[in-house]
Amino acid sequence: MKSKRLTSASSLLLLLALPPQMAAQHTRYKLIDLGTLGGPSAIEPPFPGSQLLNNAGLLAGTSDITTTDPNAPNCFNQNCFLSHAFRWKSGALTDFGTVPGGTISSASSINARGWIAGDSTTSEIDPFNGDCGFQPLCPQSHAVLWKNRTIIDLGTLGEGLESATAYVKNSGAVVGLSTINTSPDPFGFHGAPTHAFIWRNGVMRDLGTLGGPDSFPSAGGCDNQRSDLVTGGSLIDSTPNATTGTPTSHAFLWNNGKMTDIPTLGGTVAFAQCANNRGQVIGQSGLPDDVGCPDSCVLHAFFWDNGVLTDLGTLGGSSSTVIWLNNEGEAVGGALTAGDEEMHATLWRNGHITDLNPDGDCFSMAWAINSKGQIVGESFNCDTGMLRTVVWDKRSVIELNVPIPGPTNINDRGEIAGVGLPPGCGETDFCGHQYLLIPCDNNADARDCDLNAEIASQSDSRAKTATGTSNFQRRYSAGGVVTALRARMMHQYRNRGLQSVIQ
């Protein structure tokens, strides 16, 4: 549960032409700075694909509080402030606290009811965990569920000491992972054997593995509300491969008690990102001969549907990654271009790959897609140094005139959530704020719509002149953007036993 801050948001990957574009027009967004719980910084979502904004406009997140870590300088968080999960509703930011005796909590997901899944430290010590910052006194961290404002400690599997959530479904079922005992396991969560679980009505069910010691759930990224479907990755044996240094890992789809093995694209490492309500699965897989391993294993995005595995390919480069899948089977993420020179935001639909990168920009990444096909991501212009949120809506690309980086979610109302850096906040500082962008209708009071956005054709999507004001405007270096993207993508692998593979 050791946290990292979002220093900037970034991009990844792809190519093809967009359909004919609509005529240019304008729209406006109301910008809401959620601030923090009194501390200096909001904290990045736990994974790309984390569902932290629901269709009612309720937002979950994690923020520093005013209390500094009593164990400083050996702190749990890097800036030595304690942090808590929160929920934003109708203008009010509510601190959800921790389990009794705990000091730190975090949010990983919110459902349609406003229930939040997350993690909390407890009052108990884990003598086997030396990865908490203030060794050797590491508190146990447990998966938790906040129903309204009541916190439920979900506990652990078997004799395990640690657990963590991935997401909560609208039914209230929670998906996560837990250690099952305290035996040494170099590939498990906190160095112990780890299994994925689903928790329903007070009962935590072990989902098992594909034959190896460990399994890990997906982090989210799909509108999967079927309580019988869970995806993730699992080791299939305990023998490390010479090419990767880790045992072979396959993606899986767990369907009401049965774990289906999803094969790789030829390599020895694969995991699922998420599944939609149709049971379609997206994920990442290594290639034959484990190309690039062990230094930097090459991964391709894949799409699995009813037993058929499809390599989603790239934009001419070596790698691609997929983050979000809607119930129409549309997936977004990014891919490298020829020569691995640039990272472009990408849409995969009906077997076709589309390069979403705005003209003139050198990096972009699509982070989420809603049920209407609206896509939110980020784009970076190497000439101007501007990193900004971008929305792709049907045939048009919407570029926010005032750069606001760090989008994470877009709901079915077109609202956008993210974390941005205010003026004076450096790329490595701990000072980001959570924000919410709300589209204004044509009759909205202009004073409530303080942020201009412009819908431009793909053929004329050059940088625009800012006509609004924003507390999040800043410039970035190309190196900073690439570094931040890599850190953000690495964050999604932290609980999957793949950190030694994906460098």
CA distance 246 to 186: 9
Tokens of 14: 């792809």
Structure confidence by residue, pLDDT tens digits, 312-323: 999 999 999 999
Structure confidence by residue, pLDDT tens digits, 413-446: 999 999 887 766 766 567 888 999 998 864 445 5
Q: Is the backbone of residue 318 left (phi > 0), alpha (psi -120 to 50) or beta? A: alpha
pTM for the full predicted model: 0.86
Structure confidence by residue, pLDDT tens digits, 360-395: 899 999 999 999 999 999 999 888 888 888 999 877
Structure confidence by residue, pLDDT tens digits, 40-58: 999 888 788 899 999 999 9
Structure confidence by residue, pLDDT tens digits, 324-365: 999 999 999 999 999 999 999 999 999 899 999 998 899 999
E strands present in 339-473: 343-349, 352-355, 363-369, 375-381, 386-393, 396-400, 407-410, 416-420, 433-439, 451-456
Helices of type H across 83-216:
none
In this structure, of 87-96, 151-160, 241-250, 474-483, the range with the lowest mean pLDDT score is 474-483
Q: Hey, what domains does the chain have and what are their CATH numbers?
A: 25-491 (2.130.10)
Concatenate the DSSP letters of all residues of 394-412 into one string: TTEEEEESS----EEEE-T
Upper half-sphere CA count for residue 468 (Cβ side, 13 Å): 25
Tokens of 416: 């956008």
CA-closest candidate to residue 389, choices 399, 381, 191, 397: 399
Q: Is the separation of the CB atoms in 27 and 357 below 8 Å?
A: no
Helix (H, G, I), strand (E, B) or coil at 116: strand
Tokens of 90: 């109708």
Q: Is the separation of the CB atoms in 61 and 117 below 8 Å?
A: no
Q: Is the separation of the CB atoms in 128 and 138 below 8 Å?
A: no
Q: Which residues contact 363 (CB under 8 A, 6 or more apart)?
A: 10, 11, 12, 342, 343, 344, 379, 380, 382, 478, 481, 482, 485
Place of tokens 């870590």: 69
